[in-house]
C-alpha cells in the first residue's frame, strides 16, 4: 500500500507548509476510524508521561484530543501547557511527531468531537473513573451495565496542540530512514532533513 502525500525520500523538496503535508498523511476528520496517537506531557513530578489518545480533529489551528477534566494529563497540562503527539503508521513505516503549545479546544469543536465518538467511548467518558477502577469485576460490570446519561459528559474537555515543530519520518527498504523537520519561525516555517 502506498501512503498519500509527499514522501520523505522523494527527490523533490517537501511542501512549504507542513500542515498541508500533515493533512495528506492524516485521515479526514469525518473518518470514524480516528488515529490513535501517543500524547506526551511533563508529569507534575518532572518526569515525562505518555498515554494513547484519539486524535479528534486536525486543522490549521492544531491537533485536537479530548479527555476527562479529572485526568492526570489535564493536571499536567495545567502546570506545563506543552505536549508532543506521536502518530505512527506501522504498515507504511511512517511517523509524524508534533511538538507544541496546548490550548483549550472551543466548545463547538468539543461538541463535534463528542458527537463523533462511538457509543462505547461516550459511555467510557461518563464512567471511567478511579472509583470505578477500584471496584471488583462484578461491581464494575454492574456500574457499566447501568447505562449512560443523555448528553455530553460533564467532565469532557478538549485541547489543541498548536505546533511549533513537526517531524515527518519514513523508513526505506533499501536505504537509511530519513526525517524532514519543520520549525515555526516568526516568518513562517523552515525545514531541514535529519537522520532517521
What pLDDT, on the 0 to 100 scale, is given for residue 133? 92
Q: Is residue 136 part of a domain?
A: no
Q: Where are the beta strands (DSSP E) in the chain?
A: 36-42, 48-54, 57-59, 62-68, 82-89, 94-104, 156-172, 175-185, 188-195
Q: Is residue 140 part of a domain?
A: no
What pLDDT, on the 0 to 100 scale, is given for residue 91? 80
Q: Is residue 7 part of a domain?
A: no
Q: Is residue 162 part of a domain?
A: yes
Q: pLDDT tens for residues 19-38?
A: 999 999 999 988 888 899 99
Q: Is residue 131 part of a domain?
A: no
Q: List Cβ neighbours of 115 (8 Å cut-off, separation of 6 or more).
A: none
Q: pLDDT tens for residues 45-101?
A: 999 999 999 999 999 999 999 999 989 999 999 999 999 999 998 787 899 999 999
Residue 47 domain boundaries: 18-125+154-195
In the chain, the number of structural domains is 1
Q: Is residue 147 part of a domain?
A: no
Average pLDDT over the chain, rounded to an integer: 92
Q: Is residue 146 part of a domain?
A: no
CATH number at residue 113: 2.30.110.10
pTM confidence score: 0.90
Q: Is residue 143 part of a domain?
A: no
Amino acid at each position: 500500500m502506498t501512503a498519500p502525500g509527499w514522501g520523505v525520500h522523494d527527490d523533490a523538496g517537501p511542501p512549504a507548509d507542513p500542515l498541508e503535508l500533515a493533512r495528506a498523511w492524516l485521515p479526514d476528520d469525518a473518518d470514524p476510524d480516528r488515529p490513535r496517537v501517543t500524547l506526551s506531557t511533563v508529569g507534575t513530578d518532572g518526569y515525562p508521561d505518555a498515554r494513547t489518545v484519539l486524535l479528534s480533529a486536525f486543522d490549521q489551528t492544531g491537533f485536537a484530543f479530548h479527555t476527562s477534566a479529572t485526568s492526570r494529563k489535564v493536571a499536567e497540562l495545567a502546570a506545563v501547557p506543552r505536549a508532543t503527539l506521536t502518530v505512527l503508521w506501522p504498515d507504511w513505516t511512517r511517523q509524524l511527531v508534533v511538538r507544541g503549545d496546548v490550548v483549550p479546544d472551543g466548545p463547538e469543536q468539543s461538541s463535534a468531537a463528542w458527537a463523533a465518538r462511538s457509543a462505547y467511548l461516550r459511555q467510557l467518558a461518563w464512567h471511567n473513573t478511579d472509583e470505578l477502577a477500584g471496584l471488583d469485576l462484578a461491581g464494575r460490570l454492574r456500574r457499566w451495565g447501568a447505562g449512560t446519561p443523555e448528553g455530553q459528559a460533564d467532565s469532557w474537555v478538549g485541547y489543541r496542540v498548536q505546533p511549533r515543530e513537526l517531524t515527518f519520518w519514513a523508513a526505506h527498504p533499501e536505504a537509511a530512514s530519513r526525517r524532514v523537520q519543520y520549525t515555526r519561525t516568526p516568518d513562517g516555517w523552515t525545514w531541514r532533513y535529519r537522520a532517521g
